[in-house]
Amino acid sequence: MNIDFPFRFDNRGHSAETGDDDHVRDMIEQLLFTNPGERVNRPDFGTGLLQLVFAPNSQELAAALQFTLQAALQRWLGDVIDVGALAVSSEDATLRVDLGYTVRASGDTRSDSFTRSLP
């Protein structure tokens, strides 16, 4: 059983479930947009990506962010996915991560975009 993210109840009053492909996408989204220290039992889980939205854009920041995300995806989801392409862009208060990956269990290649807008 894969619990859907964000957590909600379905029309039967049970925890909403999701399929395997959507569950993998949900896990990636949780990793990308969780700041280290937010999870009590895993204080080093997350990427700190949202903290860098207002940092000045530069080639150095983009390279550091690319390296950080690649390492976090490998560490926390390396047994679930193989990362292919990874691109991060920030425009005003909107952060966008484009990720190409292969799901190890099924061999399916997927490409997803993850965005967050900050208030």
71-118 pLDDT, tens digit per residue, is 999 999 999 999 999 988 777 667 788 999 999 988 999 999 988 776
| Residue 49 DSSP label | G
* pLDDT number for residue 76: 94
Q: pTM here?
A: 0.79
User: How does pLDDT run across 3-16, given as a tens digit for each residue?
Assistant: 766 676 888 888 87
Rounded CA-CA distance 17/9 in Å is 9
DSSP 55-108: SPP-HHHHHHHHHHHHHHHHHHHTTTEEEEEEEEEEETTEEEEEEEEEETTT--
Rg (CA), the chain: 15
CA 76-33-20 angle, to 5 degrees, is: 55
Q: What pLDDT does 118 receive?
A: 61
- pLDDT score recorded for residue 53: 66
Instruction: Please state, in angstroms and rounded to a whole number, the distance separating the CA atoms of residues 22 and 32.
Output: 15
Which residue did the predictor score with more confidence, 66 or 42? 42
- CA dist 111 and 118 (Å) reads 23
